[in-house]
Chains A and B, each alone.
Chain A
Amino acid sequence: MKYLSEYRDPAIARALIERIRRTATRPWTLMEVCGGQTHTIVRQGLDELLDGAVEMIHGPGCPVCVTPLEQIDKALALAARPDVIFTSFGDMLRVPGSDCDLQQVRARGGAVRVVYSPLDALELARRTPDKEVVFFAVGFETTAPANAMAVWRARELGVRNFSVLVSHVTVPPAITAILTAPDNRVQGFLAAGHVCTVMGWTEYEPIAERYRVPIVVTGFEPMDILEGMLMAVEQLESGRHVVENQYVRSVRREGTVPARQRVEDVFELADRKWRGIGEIPMSGLRLRDEFTAFDAERKFGLGGIVVSEPAECRAGDVLTGRLKPPKCGAFGTRCTPEHPLGALMVSAEGACAAYYALARHRVAEPHVVAR
């Protein structure tokens, strides 16, 4: 076993698709809240193969895509400073800010470095004591333990020229925001396997109970996603609404406790803006007061940067399932991966970029089953 290729078996995938189609007595609408799952679903055409039995709405599950313009502009301001080396995961470099992106800042001479891990950024700070190294700490709960550990280690090792620009968001408040929207169509959720690897699934139990929606913790390979869909459809058909775990090889109910603990040590819950959606109460993380010295926003006085989202990008409608990307007036014309209006067209995990890459302009409307 390599725990990877085995879960891409076409014969098993075909059997799962057939089983979902046989189980569904009516079309069901599910949402995945994970960019990795969106990528697999669109690239493999899993929703098309289901032929209308299940419509997948691609939720706000790509951290690159939900990072608000304001945080991007703060990153750009930092990266342009001559005393700063700005470090980031690679997928943030092409996200458009108000008037440019990090790649353009780099082309103009700004020190912007791509790192694989926040610990690499910390190591860079130790090696270049005459520069300020700032890391762009974006991500969901999956990434929070890594970023928390970088800050924790910086304090432990006494590294004073390291700080983080925090833009952390958490999944359960976004799910609740979607479920309480007046025009919500989502009937069940696939919860993100790696978010739940860290956090477990106890936070989702009151949501499933209160809003009467099945929530299935699901992995990332085609077979994982199809099995997750099948489990959700079986619940919907039998009128159940509980949290189930498809991704048993990685996820335990209580999550990875030491990782959760380190996140708790370093971060606290805070209100956060989501690109295209707006502010969701207590939907993100910020550094605790005892780690203020590592907060780039305070260190460099960025509090004055307040930006609103561009009007033409309808990211919020796409992220909440009101609009399929190809139905957007700017899709493929004024908004392309080369010249994106918004983040959803940038990241490979963004719904707009995923549709664009496959030229899936035709799949604008859900199929109708059993006419």
Chain B
Amino acid sequence: MCLGIPGRVVELHNDGGFPTGLVDFGGVRREVCLAYVAGEVALGDYVIVHVGFAISKVDEAEAKRTFEVLREMSRLDELEWIADAIEPSPGEPRDALSAANGRPR
């Protein structure tokens, strides 16, 4: 129900003082109410849309940062897994307690 989908603002409209815009969701386009983000949204920005209303502007810098941090983490863990495969750590992999104690973070 609280599904919100990111889409890109491709047109800005004004219906008698009521700010709306055309938003592209990966090819599907729909008119969306922009009243709640009117002060901060420009053409080309991404917004999170819920039941026809933009409820926030996607912070692109933060979005990229989160993604980069996670990707870097997975790369580091990948290296650890390789090390573990060569020299197995004690305990079953199912055993979270020994896994936490036996492997560096």
Tell me, yes or no, whether B33 is within 8 Å of chain A by CB: yes
User: Which of these binds chain B: A4-12, A124-132, A281-289?
Assistant: A4-12
Whether A25 contacts B96 by the Cβ 8 Å rule is: yes
Binary interface encoding of chain B residues 69-88 relative to chain A, with 1 for a CB under 8 A from any of its CBs, else 0: 01101100110010000000
A251 to B57, CA, bound (A): 9
A62 to B58, CA, bound (A): 24
Tell me, yes or no, whether A279 is within 8 Å of chain B by CB: no
A240 to B11, CA, bound (A): 46
Tell me, yes or no, whether A41 is within 8 Å of chain B by CB: no
Quick one: which of A1-46 are within 8 Å of B by CB?
Answer: 1-4, 6-7, 9, 11-12, 14-16, 18-19, 21-27, 34-36
Q: How large is the interface on A (under 10, 10 to 19, 20 to 34, 35 or more residues)?
A: 35 or more
Whether A248 contacts B62 by the Cβ 8 Å rule is: yes
User: Which of these binds chain B: A101-109, A143-151, A269-277?
Assistant: A143-151
Tell me, yes or no, whether B66 is within 8 Å of chain A by CB: yes
Whether B55 contacts A198 by the Cβ 8 Å rule is: yes
Tell me, yes or no, whether A89 is within 8 Å of chain B by CB: yes
Tell me, yes or no, whether A185 is within 8 Å of chain B by CB: no
Whether B36 contacts A256 by the Cβ 8 Å rule is: yes
Q: Which residues of B contact A2 (CB under 8 A)?
A: 6, 26
Nearest chain A CB to B83 CB, angstrom units: 13
Quick one: which of B1-42 are within 8 Å of A by CB?
Answer: 1-6, 18, 26, 33, 35-39
Partner of B105, one of A22, A118, A258: A22
Tell me, yes or no, whether A160 is within 8 Å of chain B by CB: no
Q: Which residues of A contact B98 (CB under 8 A)?
A: 370
With A35-B1, A145-B36, A194-B50 as known contacts, state yes or no: A19 contacts B73, CB within 8 Å: yes
Tell me, yes or no, whether A120 is within 8 Å of chain B by CB: yes
With A22-B103, A119-B33, A256-B36 as known contacts, state yes or no: A145 contacts B95, CB within 8 Å: no
Q: Which residues of A contact B62 (CB under 8 A)?
A: 248-249
Q: Which residues of A contact B36 (CB under 8 A)?
A: 145, 256, 258-259, 262
Q: How large is the interface on B (under 10, 10 to 19, 20 to 34, 35 or more residues)?
A: 35 or more
With A2-B6, A117-B52, A258-B36 as known contacts, state yes or no: A369 contacts B97, CB within 8 Å: yes
Whether A143 contacts B96 by the Cβ 8 Å rule is: no
Whether A250 contacts B56 by the Cβ 8 Å rule is: yes
Nearest chain A CB to B86 CB, angstrom units: 17
Q: Which residue on B lies nearest to A4, using beta carbons?
A: B6
A341 to B105, CA, bound (A): 47
Q: Which residue on B lies nearest to A116, using beta carbons?
A: B52
A51 to B99, CA, bound (A): 13
A117 to B70, CA, bound (A): 35
Q: Which residue on B lies nearest to A11, using beta carbons?
A: B74
Nearest chain A CB to B10 CB, angstrom units: 14
Nearest chain A CB to B94 CB, angstrom units: 6
Whether A1 contacts B100 by the Cβ 8 Å rule is: no
Whether A197 contacts B78 by the Cβ 8 Å rule is: no
A4 to B58, CA, bound (A): 11
Whether B1 contacts A117 by the Cβ 8 Å rule is: no
Whether A25 contacts B59 by the Cβ 8 Å rule is: no
Q: Which residue on A lies nearest to B64, using beta carbons?
A: A1
Question: Chain A: residues with CB nearer than 8 A to chain B?
Answer: 1-4, 6-7, 9, 11-12, 14-16, 18-19, 21-27, 34-36, 51-53, 62-64, 89, 91, 116-120, 138-140, 142-143, 145-146, 149, 153, 192-195, 197-198, 220, 223, 227, 248-252, 256, 258-259, 262, 347, 349, 369-370
New A-B pairs, 13, CB < 8 Å, besides A12-B71, A146-B53: A3-B6, A3-B63, A6-B67, A9-B74, A15-B77, A25-B101, A26-B97, A53-B96, A91-B1, A117-B52, A145-B53, A197-B56, A198-B55
- Jot down 15 A-B pairs with beta carbons below 8 A, ordered by A: A2-B26, A4-B6, A9-B71, A11-B74, A15-B77, A19-B105, A22-B100, A22-B103, A36-B3, A64-B1, A143-B51, A146-B50, A249-B63, A256-B36, A259-B53
> Which 4 pairs between the two chains have the least Cβ-Cβ distance?
A117-B52, A15-B74, A249-B63, A370-B97
